[in-house]
Chains A and B, each alone.
Chain A
C-alpha cells in the first residue's frame, strides 16, 4: 500500500507542511516516516523540498528552493529555544523528567540575560518604557510558536524540549574553517541560515 493512502499520512503531512517536526517521542508518526522515508522523499521532492532525518531523532522538511512558502524563525523563538535547550542539559532537570516551569523559566531568563539583549532579541521595535509588558507577550508568543512547530511540548504550565530542539545546537557543533561549505551544509541539512539579517516574518 502506498504511504500516501495510509491513515497516518494526513496528520503527518499537515505538521510537515507548516514547518513542524515529527519527533521520535511521537512514536507512531515517526515510525511511519521511517518506514516510508524513500517514498515520501520522492513525493516532497516533487515540490522541490527535502524530507530530512536529523540524527537526534526527528523528521522535517527543508525547502530553500521549493515551491512551498518559507519563512525565517523569529529571533525570540531562537533565543528561547536555546535557553530551554540549555536548561534541559542541566542534570537537575532529570528529576522532573526535563519538564520546566514556564513562569520560572521566564523569570530566570530575565535575571540571567542582560536586558539589552532581551530587548533586541524579543522586542526589537519596543521602547524601553513598555519593555516589561511587551517582553512577556513576546515570550508567550515565542513559546507558543515553538510548540506549534513541535520543538517543545507544553503541559500544565510546564514545558519540555523535544528531540527537534537539538537542531538549535547545530550551528555550534562545527567550527569549520571553510565558511561557505559550512553555511551550505547547515542550510541544506538543517535549514539554518547563518548571519541572517533582520527578524523573521511570521504568518
Chain B
C-alpha cells in the first residue's frame, strides 16, 4: 500500500499509474469498520496514554460485536484474523513494532492516520444531543423532591442523617458526577465535529453540505434545549435545595447547610458550563452558517473566489473612494474658503448714521483655556481629555469649553503627530464624554 503512504512527490498521473500497477484496492466488511471503531474508542478511553491494542483486547472487542451481530463464537478467532488482515492490507491498521515481537500472539496493533480518518468520519454521524444531560438533571430534581417530601417526617438528627443527608451526599453527588461525564463527552463530540466539518466541506461535494447543515441544525437544537430545559432544571433544583436548607435550619439540623452548599457549588458549575458552551457553540454555528452562505450559496461555483485568487497575482487595477472628512462638523465659513469678499456699498445716510456702541465683556474662559492648553502642550504626549479634566477639576468648567473644541483640537494637531490608534471614549466630567485625541511630539 505504498501509494497511500509514500511521501515522495509524484504527479497525479504517476500516482494513478502506480496504483494501477500495484493492483491496489480497498475492501472492508462492515465487521471490519465496527472493529476499527471499537479499537480506536478503546485507545481513546485509556488513561495511560498507550496507543496500541493487543490480540487479547481485540478478541474481547470482537466478542462484543458478535453479541450484536449474533455470530458463531467458535469461528471468532478465524474471523478476527481475517478482519485484521483486511484492515492491515488496506492501511487502516499497522503492527506496533516497538517491542519487535514477531509472534502473532504478542503482536500489538495501532490505528493509522487512514484508520483515524475513517473513525472520524463514522463518529461524525453520532447524535449530538443535550438530552442525556437534561434527563440527568430531571432525575436529580426528582430525588430532591422526594428528599424535600421526606423532610416533613424527620423528627431527629438521625432521621435527617439517614433520610436526607445520605441521599444528598451520595446519590445526588453521583448524579452530578455523571453530568460532568456527559459534559466532557459533548465537548469532545463538538470538538470532533468542529475539526471534521472543514475537511468534509472541502472534499465532500453536495452531500457533504447537507451533512454539514444537519450537524449545524443538531447543534443549534442542542443549544436551544440546553438554554431552555437545562437552565430551568438547574433553577428548579436550586429552589428545592433552598427549601431543604430552610427546613433543616428550622429543625436545627447539623451540617445541612454545608451539604446543600456543596451541591449548590456543583450546580453552579453545571450552569456555568451550559452558559459558556451555549455561547461557544452559537458562535461556531454563526461562523459556519455565514461561511456556507458566503461560499456555497452566493458563490456556489467558486467563480468569485477564483477571480479573487487570480487578482492576487497582479497589482489591483481598481481602487476604492472613501470619505475622509474630519470628525467634527465643518462650519460654513470653512467651506466657503479663506478669500475675502468685498463689502456691499452702503448709502450715505447709513454711513453717516451715529454709531451705537455696545460693550461686550471679554470671554473669561478663553485665557483659562489658553493656559491649560499651553500647560498640556508642554507635555509629551498631549491629550485632549487632560485639558477638559483640568478645566473641570481646577475651574469647574464643563459646557463652557464646548464652543472652543475646534481650535483646541487644531492647536493640538499643529503641535505634533496625531496617534491614530488612540480614539477611546473618555469621561472627562460628570456630563461630558469625548473621543480621545493624542498627539506626540
Contact = CB atoms under 8 A, between A and B. Distances in A.
Contacts of B421: 144
A172 B283 contact: no
Contacts of A114: 313
A92 B321 CA distance: 32
Nearest to A21: B322
A131 to B, nearest CB: 15
Interface residues of B, number: 42
Contact of A18 (B311, B315, B325): B325
A75 B315 contact: yes
B319 A86 contact: no
Given A11-B425, A89-B305, A196-B319, A68 B198 contact: no
Interface in A97-138: 97-98, 112-114, 117, 120-121
Interface string B295-332: 10001000011011101111111111111111100000
Contact of B323 (A11, A69, A93, A187): A69
A148 B423 CA distance: 10
Interface in A62-97: 62-64, 66-73, 75, 78-79, 82-83, 85-86, 89, 91-95, 97
A98 to B, nearest CB: 6
Nearest to B316: A78
Interface in A155-203: 166-169, 171-173, 187, 190-196, 200, 203
A84 to B, nearest CB: 10
B383 interface: no
A58 interface: no
Contacts of A194: 317-318
B321 A64 contact: yes
Given A17-B326, A68-B324, A120 B315 contact: yes
A17 B326 CA distance: 7
A75 B325 contact: no
Nearest to A13: B327
B287 A79 contact: no
B179 interface: no
Given A69-B323, A172-B308, A98 B287 contact: yes
Interface string B35-66: 00000000000000000000000000000000
Nearest to A166: B294
A135 to B, nearest CB: 14
Q: How large is the interface on A (under 10, 10 to 19, 20 to 34, 35 or more residues)?
A: 35 or more
A3 interface: no
Nearest to A147: B421
B320 A117 contact: no
A193 B148 CA distance: 74
B323 A200 contact: no
Interface of A: 11, 13-14, 16-19, 47, 49, 56, 60-64, 66-73, 75, 78-79, 82-83, 85-86, 89, 91-95, 97-98, 112-114, 117, 120-121, 144, 148-149, 166-169, 171-173, 187, 190-196, 200, 203
Interface of B: 194-195, 197-199, 201-202, 283-284, 287-288, 291, 294-295, 299, 304-305, 307-309, 311-327, 335, 420-421, 425, 435
21 contacts: A18-B325, A19-B322, A47-B325, A56-B294, A66-B323, A68-B325, A69-B324, A71-B324, A73-B319, A73-B322, A75-B315, A82-B311, A91-B202, A91-B291, A97-B287, A98-B287, A117-B314, A121-B315, A144-B420, A148-B420, A149-B322
